[in-house]
A and B are shown apart, each in its own frame.
Chain A
Amino acid sequence: MANESKVVNLMPTPEDFALTGISGLDSILEGGIPRSNVTLVEGAIGTGKTTMGVEFVYRGASEFDEPGLIVLFEVSPEKVVRDAAQLGWDLPALERQGRVKIVYTTRQVFRQELQQADSLLLQEAAQMGAARLFVDGVVGVIDGGGDGQEPREAFHVLVEGLQRDRLTAMLAVEATALTQDRLPVLEESIADTVIRLRMEDVQRATTRSIEIIKSRGHSYQMGRHSFRIVTGRGIEVYRRVQAPRAASRDRAAAFDPSTRATTGVPGLDEVVNGGYFLGSTTVVAGISGVGKSVMALQYIAEGARLGEPSLMLTLDEQVPQVLRNAKSIGIDLQAHIDRGVVQLYYDPPQEIEVDHHFHTIEQIVKDFRPRRAVLDSISTYGSSLGTQGRLFRDFFHALVALMKEYQVAAVYNHENPEMLGMSSMMGAFGMSSLVDNIILMNWIELGDTFRLGLTVAKMRANPTVRETHECEITDGQGMRVLPRRLPLAAPTAMAPFSSFGGLISRAPERHTHGTEPGEVTGGQ
């Protein structure tokens, strides 16, 4: 008789993980830290190790019914409580409820405690049903503390002591204990999870980053992610913009070829086959002052008119300025905002933190669910993030993927530096392959007049007639695309674009024959 073996499922379940509760961190950890893991939080002074450890215990006690113990060696509990209050965490209340205890001790006592079967510290943890432990500053504990114990042995004893009591522990390690920016490899190899916090110089600014160096028992998002310590809230981790998102985002990365978002610019819908597809990516390229932002405002106002949630992200102009610009072309954007159908988000472009910025956009899109969006302008990102490295490209990729996932008909304004004509559609950005539709806006010099030309250079999955159309912007009314063939006789400066060749190549020549009936070519 064959032995019947019972199949045991060893795959971890969500219950096998302790959620940190720290905003954004569990997402990077892909579901939290495996229970009973000993986590080292490494970093230099001021990187946020204590804050992270205290928040780990605070969130456990306040959100997951997992009491916790905080062990301090140098920082007085009074100051920890005070600093926690700044972040909105009421530790004394949790202490009164017996869900958090803060123990002040010495490293020597702590080390001895973890080697005792009758450890007071672990008794305390057991009595309160502690599931989490944070030890602030384990240097001196893990390096043997000068009592002749080998660091590896000392750390091993510490880990064993913690695991004996099934505590999910977080240990903060100061940079003074680090060699070449990291802990000695042996300690890192004994720890189950290693989290590295850094302060990074970006030009003359400083940003914080977090990296999961290792974490046993599960997968996690590698690389350096950004984080902030926010007054009243605590730590907020922003996944690095390059990190892969959920597979659903890729699966949704196609546009809907049946539904279009009308542009709101009279005459433009006829040129773009009725509007932009939902989920499509449109770039409007042109020099400053050519009318890109006007088109953007009309696009947003059109969405509002149709009752579609419409989002405008602006880096170039602050909100009051955008509202004023809108008013000058007859759009009461504030009324649409008040009605909840339009959202306007401005982020100053100076020293932009791209992970945080993208996180904010992602949250807005998830919460507001816009059907259409304008980003004014991607060139500003270029000047903030640089066009040469991968950062801008990765950011733009992530942005396009986000908009496609949520089926947003997204329009991106791009400032092309060339005043007359264009020798390349996106200049140094080199992103045109990622874009579904490209609309070129050009000044065209005819006679002594600059006239405004619009050319659809690319329209994926659409028939495209690459004719240049004239536009005009009228005070109080905004932009409109003029009929291509004007029935009136006109001098060169007023003649229809259809009577010229070479408009975008900066050398327009007027046709002398072959004009359409009713169209007059002379008159100069």
Chain B
Amino acid sequence: MSEDAEDVLARLPYLGHRCDLDLLVFFHRHPRVLLTSERLVAVLGYDLNQITASLETLIAAKVVTRTQHQTTGARMYAFEVSDNDNDSLAQLLRTASARAGWLAIIRALEGRRVKDPAGASRSRLPQKHGESPNGE
């Protein structure tokens, strides 16, 4: 299981933090959402900075698109999967759909961060909602 997780993560290098994964799974389950960032904080349990960072990660990877809203804080997010990423993402999401698979991916993500500490500057340790980002 953990080898599978590492293999599939190797093909999705933009994923660096468990929040990236949780947000990805959330958007997979809710392919089109109209929400505020605060709502995503409440639903996923990470702090606002982490949610914002993970959103930027997924948007930069063209997995998610975001429409800005001029009047309210809500934004429309749509889960978009490019053809290139399709197989890897599908495999990742399949693995993450079961608890054991999800834990294996989390462990693989943490292992990746230990091997590549530079990545930690973007992908911080998981923090639950209410904690200060970066532990500051």
Contacts and interface: CB of A to CB of B under 8 A. Distances in A.
Interface of A: 76-78, 95, 101-106, 109-110, 112-113, 116, 118, 120-121, 124
B84 interface: no
Given A78-B30, A109-B74, A120 B35 contact: no
Given A106-B39, A120-B67, A113 B72 contact: yes
A104 B30 contact: yes
A336 to B, nearest CB: 53
Nearest to A117: B71
A121 B32 CA distance: 11
Given A109-B74, A112-B74, A101 B34 contact: no
13 contacts: A76-B29, A77-B30, A102-B31, A103-B76, A106-B35, A109-B34, A109-B72, A112-B72, A113-B74, A118-B69, A120-B76, A124-B32, A124-B76
A76 B72 CA distance: 23
Contacts of A110: 34
Contact of A102 (B32, B67, B74, B76): B32
A106 B36 CA distance: 9
B70 A118 contact: yes
Given A120-B67, A120-B69, A77 B31 contact: yes
B125 interface: no
A76 B74 contact: no
Contacts of B36: 106, 109
- Chain B contact residues: helix, strand, loop or mixed: mixed
B33 interface: yes
Most buried by A among B31, B34, B70, B76: B34
A76 B30 contact: yes
Contact of B74 (A77, A101, A120): A120
Interface size class, chain B: 10 to 19
A272 to B, nearest CB: 69
B68 to A, nearest CB: 9
A104 B34 contact: yes
A503 to B, nearest CB: 78
Contacts of A78: 28-30
Contact of B34 (A76, A95, A121): A121
Interface string B17-47: 0000000000011111111100100000000
Contacts of A105: 33-35, 74
B72 A103 contact: no
Contacts of B76: 103, 120-121, 124
Nearest to B72: A112
B55 to A, nearest CB: 16
A112 B71 CA distance: 9
Contacts of B29: 76-78
A118 B71 CA distance: 8
A113 B32 contact: no
Most buried by A among B36, B70, B74, B75: B74
Most buried by B among A102, A103, A109: A109
Contacts of B35: 104-106, 109
Contacts of A103: 32-34, 76
Nearest to B36: A109
8 interchain residue pairs of minimum CB distance = A105-B34, A104-B30, A78-B29, A109-B74, A104-B33, A120-B76, A112-B72, A103-B32
B34 to A, nearest CB: 4
Contacts of A113: 34, 72, 74
A107 to B, nearest CB: 11
A95 B80 CA distance: 12
Contacts of A112: 71-72, 74
Contact of B72 (A95, A116, A124): A116
Most buried by A among B30, B70, B75: B30
A105 B36 CA distance: 9
A78 to B, nearest CB: 4
Contact of B31 (A95, A106, A121, A124): A95
Given A95-B31, A109-B74, A118-B69, 4 more contacts: A103-B34, A104-B33, A112-B72, A120-B34
A335 B101 CA distance: 58
Nearest to A120: B76
Nearest to B69: A120
Nearest to B76: A120
Nearest to B67: A120
